[in-house]
Amino acid sequence: MAPIDDTSPGSPLPHDYQRFLQRGSRRAPQMLYLHERGYRSGTINTDALGLRYSHCAGKRFSVAERGGAARVNVLVGGSTAMGIGASSDEHTVASYLSQLTGEVWLSLAGCGLNATQELLLFLTHQHRFGQIGHVVVLSGLNTLAQETLGEVLAGSQDPQRAQVYQDFLNRFNEGVPATPPARRESLWQRLGQALASRRVPPWPDIEPLSSPDKRLIRAADSIGRTLRQWDRLLADGHTTLTFILQPLLPWCREALPSGEQAMLAALERQPSNFDRLIGGAFDSQLHMAFLRRIKNQAEPIPCYDMNCMLGSSPAFTQDLFVDRLHFNDLGNNALAKVITAKLGLAQENHALRKVSPIKPG
């Protein structure tokens, strides 16, 4: 495995990611939105289902290409779990978990999916997994953002304003801007794109939203209900289920490394749609209330907070975030190490753990 590429978090996402997410924004009716199928690039690659590959012991695995693995583990979530920001498929959280545990971890993650959609994605592909050892749900923020988005889209019945909302929804892909095609273009085309890039799409003129704490409560209740559904779904097997609230930069840090300071300053000048949707919830007290309610709603499912746990990483003082919710290679590695330690999954512990036998599927 290549060394960790600790790129500057102040730089924009590589062109491969921008092109990938823009192509994936096409939505088919009555289908769960996911990503481009069979996408190929030097940075990110997907299988025939649109799910990202992870790497274990020099081989790549995915939901569609499980290979000969008799038992797999599953990492569920949104774009953070998927590894948006990693330099390659080898440097996602799922790949690092595979490296640290010596077991295959499949990526069952999709950009923008809320808690219910994550569960639907699992139900869609449940028959492909065979034996599952661990399911780790690294999630939470998309559900919160979509609570706000629901209010935005329901704010007015006026046809003209409704079109503004629809345009906003079409642009909502966790804040990724449009990217021009890679082909060579004329001078006038390049000038036109340069001018267009300066025009930030307007935030819809909406009625006042409910307070952030109310949206947090609704999102926490949705997450808790879904986790209980996960628990019932997995109850007949020998699969462990864990929820980990994903990190958000304002919840995670009090002091910022220099690279993250520059990145945050750029985001303040031109916030993404995703940042606008969760902007009212950056307060750390709201974060703690959010986690407490998720725990109460999901009991007895173990729920942990990566915003607190990440501080135990030796790499915590370095630049880890590429924006408010995505990580560079070093950050993904830190997340995987914290998860491995918290759940006791390290490879050297396998011989000491008593695992219940799993009947053949």
Supply the CATH number for residue 122's domain.
3.40.50.1110
Mean pLDDT, range 328-346, rounded to an integer: 95
Q: Which domain holds residue 119?
A: 15-180+193-347
Mean pLDDT, range 108-121, rounded to an integer: 93
Mean pLDDT, range 10-39, rounded to an integer: 69
Residue 321 lies in a domain: yes
Q: What is the pLDDT of residue 357?
A: 33
Mean pLDDT, range 235-239, rounded to an integer: 86
pLDDT score of 288 more than 80: yes
Sheet holding 105-109, edge to edge: 105-109, 71-77, 131-139, 240-245, 303-305
Mean pLDDT, range 307-311, rounded to an integer: 97
Structure-token pair, residue 156: 């007015």
Upper half-sphere CA count for residue 302 (Cβ side, 13 Å): 12
Mean pLDDT, range 115-127, rounded to an integer: 94
Mean pLDDT, range 171-177, rounded to an integer: 48
- 239 confidence band (pLDDT: 50, 70, 90): very high
pLDDT score of 187 more than 60: no
- 197 confidence band (pLDDT: 50, 70, 90): very low
pLDDT score of 112 more than 70: yes
Residue 298 lies in a domain: yes
Mean pLDDT value across the chain: 82
Residue 219 lies in a domain: yes
Residue 355 lies in a domain: no
Q: What is the DSSP string of 27-89?
A: --TTS-----TT---SS--B-TTSPBPEEETTEEE-SS--TT-SEEEEEEESHHHHTTT-SSG
350 against 116, higher pLDDT? 116
pLDDT score of 257 more than 90: yes
219 against 278, higher pLDDT? 219
Residue 7 lies in a domain: no
The structure's pTM equals: 0.81
Mean pLDDT, range 192-221, rounded to an integer: 69
Residue 256 lies in a domain: yes
Mean pLDDT, range 175-195, rounded to an integer: 48
Residue 91 lies in a domain: yes
Percent of the chain beyond pLDDT 70?
Answer: 74
- 347 confidence band (pLDDT: 50, 70, 90): low
Q: What is the DSSP letter of 91?
A: G
Strands 131-139 and 71-77: parallel
Residue 5 lies in a domain: no
21 against 261, higher pLDDT? 261
Mean pLDDT, range 228-251, rounded to an integer: 94
C-alpha angle 276-201-158 in degrees, rounded to nearest 5 = 85
Q: How many domains does the chain have?
A: 1
